[in-house]
Amino acid sequence: MKIEKTKQIFLLILLIVAFTLPGKVVAQVANDPVKLKVLCYNLRFGELASLDELADFIKSQNPDIVALQEVDVKTKRTLAPRQNGKDFITELGYRTGMLTAYAKTIPYAGGYYGIGILSKYPFTETRRVMLPMPEGSKEQRAMLFGNVELPNGKLLTFVCTHLDYPSSEVRLVQVEALNQVLKNNPWPMIVAGDFNADPVSPEISKGMSAWKQVSSSDFTIPSKSPHSKIDYIFCSPANSWKAISANTPRVSLSDHLPVSAELELTF
């Protein structure tokens, strides 16, 4: 009788362990901090480097997600004859093994000019959102929004952008629009791009004040003798992100220097 009861208790404990332990293990893994490396690079439509060179550089950095600006698709530019007809984002995806998303901003030289994202991890959604063109704007610009599913099953919103160059007023309107689009976004976010604005400009100092700036303060342009920083990586919400390191590699594959950051995301 006693042995029978002991058996039953043992079985019960076994069942409880069997049904609760795996759940807890999965939950812990899902909530563990995630380390990510982010890279942001304005490619200057490949005028200064081949796609192989650009892909080799990206691979050497081993990033998880990359924001790219001045990305051509099938253009025929006189300034970059060796790139004629190439689909930059797809070819870079091929050469790096990463998944791709692209937002055309304008038709140009028989093809498109725009921005792109490379990601090691799959997108669950991508969307192009055109930025406003207030008085004084020169070119249509956009933000490329991608939700990425991380290996722990959690989602991350990654945004790539390239703001217009003519004036601070124009960019401030575009930054406000970007903030408005992302206002109610429920996932942790990274915005990376060429803002065409230095850190003390109102579009950065005020417009992006709610964000945590995680790229280094090194100058990014012109790449040969940089004297200005206009390329950034921002994160939100600030308390979910920890910057482990930030780097501005000195490479001359474009007129910009790339910026990278190693980050830790806590859920």
Other Cβ atoms closer than 10 A to 18: 9
237 touches other proteins (CB under 8 A) = no
32 touches other proteins (CB under 8 A) = no
Sign of dihedral through CA atoms 105, 132, 261, 30? negative
Structure tokens at 111: 């093809």
126 touches other proteins (CB under 8 A) = yes
Other Cβ atoms closer than 10 A to 173: 22
103 touches other proteins (CB under 8 A) = yes
Separation between Cα atoms, residue 65 and residue 190, nearest integer Å:
10
38 touches other proteins (CB under 8 A) = no
Stretch that binds other proteins, among 7-15, 94-102, 133-141, 181-189 (CB under 8 A): 94-102
List, in order, residues 6 or more apart from 78 with CB less than 8 Å away.
none
73 touches other proteins (CB under 8 A) = yes
Other Cβ atoms closer than 10 A to 128: 15
Minimum distance of other proteins from residue 30's CB (angstroms): 11
100 touches other proteins (CB under 8 A) = yes
95 touches other proteins (CB under 8 A) = yes
For other proteins, give the closer residue by CB, 127 or 242: 127
For other proteins, give the closer residue by CB, 39 or 204: 39
In the block, tokens 């490949």 appear at 46
Sign of dihedral through CA atoms 61, 204, 263, 267? negative
Sign of dihedral through CA atoms 99, 151, 240, 214? negative
> Which of 97, 107, 110, 136 forms a contact with other proteins (CB under 8 A)?
97
For other proteins, give the closer residue by CB, 121 or 234: 121
For other proteins, give the closer residue by CB, 96 or 201: 96
149 touches other proteins (CB under 8 A) = yes
26 touches other proteins (CB under 8 A) = no
For other proteins, give the closer residue by CB, 81 or 153: 153
> Which of 102, 113, 211, 234 forms a contact with other proteins (CB under 8 A)?
102
- First CA to last CA across the chain, in angstroms? 50
In the block, tokens 């870079």 appear at 92
Q: In a 3-state reduction of DSSP, which class is residue 203?
A: helix
For other proteins, give the closer residue by CB, 39 or 257: 39
Residue 98's identity, in one-letter code, is M
Residues that bind other proteins (CB under 8 A): 73, 87, 90-91, 93-104, 112, 120-128, 149, 151, 153
